[in-house]
């Protein structure tokens, strides 16, 4: 609930042109926030608020005043540890706003097949879907698009079982 408040407030303050820049800055901060040492540094009483803001601003690589203000608010309210959750919430809202979603394909798939899956999913959900390939040794493929709650598995063993059951039903 707190994460939603911060996310909605940030998006409400940004123009459409600023959203991508600030989202990328928050994504960089969330990536670094996975390190426990990062939280120790930004919660350190040895650093002033301005020094912490400067550090976070450099990590985020953004001079956007609204982003800087957002960082100050997080630091003042001692909510920096929520950066990963804020990033996830922001990702979902920005994806819906621009109707563009990212997904993952696991398995051995050619680039042409990957593009065909992207096109089919994009058409199915009336959105732009970009898939990234993760080369995993599977007897088939798995497709994940988290924000849309899509998970599709096509495994050779299952196809063989279904085919066999259909042949047995026909006999």
For the beta carbon of residue 89, count every other beta carbon within 10 angstroms.
20
What digits encode the pLDDT tens for the residues 57-75? 999 999 999 999 999 999 9
The pLDDT score that the predictor gives to residue 160 is 60
pLDDT score, position 116: 87
The tens digit of pLDDT for each residue in 72-86 reads 999 999 998 899 999
Q: Which CATH number fits domain 2-95: 3.10.129.10, 3.40.50.720, 2.40.10.10, 1.10.520.20?
A: 1.10.520.20
**Cα-only R_g, the chain:** 21
Taking the C-alpha atoms of residue 106 and residue 92, their distance in angstroms, rounded to an integer, is: 22
> What are the residue ranges of CATH 1.10.520.20 in the chain?
2-95
Polymer length of the chain: 171
């Amino acid at each position: 609930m707190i994460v939603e408040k911060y996310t909605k407030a940030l998006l409400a303050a940004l123009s459409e042109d600023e959203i991508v820049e600030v989202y990328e800055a928050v994504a960089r901060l969330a990536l670094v926030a996975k390190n426990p040492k990062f939280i120790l540094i930004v919660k350190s009483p040895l650093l002033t608020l301005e020094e912490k803001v400067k550090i976070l601003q450099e990590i985020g690589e953004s001079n956007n005043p609204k982003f800087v203000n957002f960082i100050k608010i997080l630091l003042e309210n001692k909510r920096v540890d929520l950066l990963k959750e804020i990033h996830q919430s922001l990702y979902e809202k920005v994806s819906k706003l621009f109707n563009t979603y990212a997904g993952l394909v696991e398995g051995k798939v050619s680039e042409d097949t990957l593009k065909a899956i992207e096109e089919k999913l994009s058409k199915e959900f009336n959105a732009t879907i970009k898939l990234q390939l993760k080369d995993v040794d599977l007897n088939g493929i798995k497709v994940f698009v988290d924000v849309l709650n899509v998970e599709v598995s096509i495994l050779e063993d299952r196809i063989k079982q279904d085919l066999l059951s259909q042949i047995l039903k026909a006999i």
